[in-house]
Amino acid sequence: MEINPFEVVKKQIDIVAEVMGLNSSIVQFLKRIERSLIVSIPILMDDGRLKIFEGFRVQHSTVRGPGKGGLRYAPSVNIDEVKALATWMTWKCSLLNLPLGGAKGGICVDPKKLSKRELERLTRRFTAEIINIIGPDIDIPAPDMNTDAQIMAWIMDSYSSQKGRTIPGVVTGKPVEIGGSVGRESATGMGLYYIIEAFCEKLNLDLKSQRIIIQGFGNVGGTIASILYNQGCKVLAVSDISGGIYNPNGLNINKLLEWTQKGKYLKDYEDNVNEIISNAVLLSTECDILIPAAMENQITQINANEIKCKIILEGANGPTTPEADQILFNKGIHVIPDILANAGGV
C-alpha cells in the first residue's frame, strides 16, 4: 500500500493540535502550502534525444524567514513528497529556533542514468525555471538525496550569471572553495551522533555496548555508521537500495564504505562472514538502536509490531507514520524524531 507523505503530515498536525488545544483556523493554516511550483524541464540528451523531466519547488512557510530545504533527485519524487518534506523543514527550523522557514525541491529523475553533462544541463535548466522564487532572502536550496556540492555549484553559477554578480548565499552545501562550509557533508551524521550520545547518557546507557542497525548507507547513514564504528560501537547491519548486510558480531564499516564509495551495492559485497538480508528483514532484526536513514514511511502500522529495539533514531525525514508511532509508544520504544535527530544538516 502506497502512503501519501503529505497526508501523513496532516495526520501529524491533527495529533499534535489536539494535544496542544490549537484553534482550528491555526490548524488549517499549518496544513496549507504557501507556494508550490511544478515545472517541465526539457533536456537535450547526449544521444540527441529530447527528454522532458518534471521538477518541483515548494515553500511551506516563510513566516520565520527565507525558505530552507534540500533538493533531491530520485525517480520517486512527486509533489506530495516535496510538500511533506517542506513542511517538516518548517518544523525543524522552528524547533532549532533558526530564522528560516521550510522549503524543499526535487526532480523526478534517476541521476545514475544521466551523464555528468546531462546532469549539469538538467540542473542549470531547473535553476532557470525556479530562479524567481529562490535567493538568499527568499528560498535557499541545499543538497539532499542524490545531490551534492557539485549540483549546488551549478545552481549558484547559473543563478549568479542571471543576477550579474556572484551570490554564494543562494545555496548551502556548495564546495568549500567557493564559499561552502567545512564539515557540511558530515553535519547530519554528526548531529545524529551527538543526539544519540546525549540520549543514552540521559537513560544511563553505555552507547558503546548498544547493538546498532542502520537502514540507509548514503551520506547520512554512512556517516553515522562510520562515526559509531570508529567510536567502538557494534553495528550489526546496514543497508542501501539493493538490500542489507548483517553480521551478529558486528560489521567492518570502514571496509563497507570503501566498497560503496566505488559505486558498488552492498548486496554484491564479496564476503563469507556476512549475511545478505532484505531491507524488510533488517528493520525487524533485534537490536538496541535502530536508525532509519533512508526514505520516508519505512516503519508503518504493517511492520511496527515487528520492530525489536529500545530506541529509534530517525535519520531520514518522516520514516515513521503516525499509526506506527502509536504502536511503538505502546511497546515502550523511544523514538527520537527526525526534526530533532537529523537537524544537524540544516
DSSP class of 181: P
Is 104 catalytic? The answer is yes
H helices then E strands: how many in the chain?
A: 11, 12
Query: CA end-to-end span of the chain, whole Å?
Result: 31
Distance CA 201, CA 197 (A): 6
Q: Which residues contact 24 (CB under 8 A, 6 or more apart)?
A: none
Catalytic residue (choose from 104, 113, 116, 264): 104
Nearest to 237 by CA among 261, 255, 217, 262: 217
Strand-strand pairing, 50-61 and 101-108? antiparallel
Compute the chain's Rg from CA coordinates.
20
Catalytic residues: 104
